[in-house]
Amino acid sequence: MKTNIQTDGMRFVARDNRSSETTKPQTEPVAHPEMVRKTDVSTPVLLLGGGGNSASVVRNLGRRGITVRLCGPSSAWGVFSRFRKESFIIPDSQDLQAYWKIFLLGPESGALDGHILIALCDASIEFMSENYEALSHRYILEDSNPRLRLKMLDKKATLEQGKAAGVAVPNFWTINSLDDLEEIRKEVVFPVMVKPINSHLFIPVFGRKLFIIEDNFDEVIEKVRLSFEHDLEVMVCEMVPGPDDLLSSYYTYIDADGNNLFNYTKSITRRYPVNRGGACYHQSEWRPETAEQGKKFFASMAWRGMANIEFKHGLRDGKLKVIEVNPRFTDAHRLMVEAGLPLDFMIYCRLTNQPVPEPVYDSKMLHCWNPLRDFLAFLEMRRAGDLTLIGWLKSIGTDRKVLAMFSLFDPIPSVVRLAQEIGRARRKGR
């Protein structure tokens, strides 16, 4: 029988006793002591896939006494955390979804029955959405509309949903064949991106999230052709001009009754690689317009479960433009938890039919910093004339910080990640 959990929701609003809703939320992720004593942590959790987010979730749930297991590739750094009970590492040679199907639904998978399943990457979202009915008979699943969750993995469908919701989106063009490119040649305003429809299929092939083309339409044709040669669906999409500090994100979790457990926003200072990589210096910051547009987007459909949408402020028209949706925990997870929003624990309480603890927060700015990648971002920006050494040092010398990955209490995931990064760099240099 499908598990249907009911509980009261609550909203996370960035404010303290002295100020308005525009205050920035920051705190240690400590629930009320009485709540900790009363919370039943006997229901185990199984995480599927992920990257840096897996380590953050394992740490936060594991240190609360919850049994956490993880099944994924070695790039899911949580498999090396001392806070996990058990790891099932999937060999690189095996298809993730095929492995999970046998692992969770095969004849010898009964020992895992009753776990809460949490998808931490696009591949596991796809797996859980496509096998939702079968999984729901044996496991506790996140609140979700499987069809919509799967739909938001499609980057073009995401932008179409934004248009339908009345939320601004960048211009984009559907490309089904090379002939379609000639029809849009005069419409395209550079810079543009050749962007995959499904990132989790594109990244393993090219080692990047997309192609950026500054001013050459022949290069657009070349990148589309290259993608088609690998049987990958792509679209041509306007690149919203401007630096990475124009990016901001909205997060929420909508339960089965349509209640938002929290509302949270953050902004970005730098990414690496610049303009296309992951955040390497970002901060917890309440952005009312980002929250408003994010709520508007998810309210346009029967969305349930974890929701994250990223926007970029458009310099041409002053509007926030939809960049992408991530229906899962992201690599900003540690920032959110350390800022006072223990969202994974809140969702755990929700799914186990227990009172959802209120987050504890203060108004001090908190940054999440990846020193190595941020230094590489600085070097790239300095070469472009966009950032000086003094400017970079000033930017990292203020406010509180939490490291993106490293923890003195759980160092092995960081060591493994560093070894993997060095290995990739060596392979590229050959």
Q: Residue with structure tokens 């040669």? A: 229
pLDDT at 365: 83
User: 217 near 185, Cβ under 8 Å?
Assistant: yes
Low-confidence ranges of the chain (pLDDT < 50): 1-36
For the chain, the domains span: 33-153+242-369, 171-238
pLDDT at 419: 83
pLDDT at 422: 76
pLDDT, one tens digit per residue, over 284-343 is 999 999 999 999 999 999 999 999 999 999 998 999 999 999 999 999 999 999 999 999
Give the residue among 381, 410, 407 at the shortest CA–CA distance from 280.
381
CA 11/CA 303 separation, integer angstroms? 17
CATH code of the domain occupying 171-238:
3.30.1490
pLDDT at 37: 52
Two tokens, residue 268: 């970005």
Instruction: Specify the CATH number for 33-153+242-369; select among 3.40.50.300, 3.40.30.10, 3.90.1310.10, 3.30.470.20.
Output: 3.30.470.20
pLDDT at 424: 67
pLDDT at 413: 92
Give the residue among 286, 302, 298, 378 at the shortest CA–CA distance from 336.
286
pLDDT at 170: 96
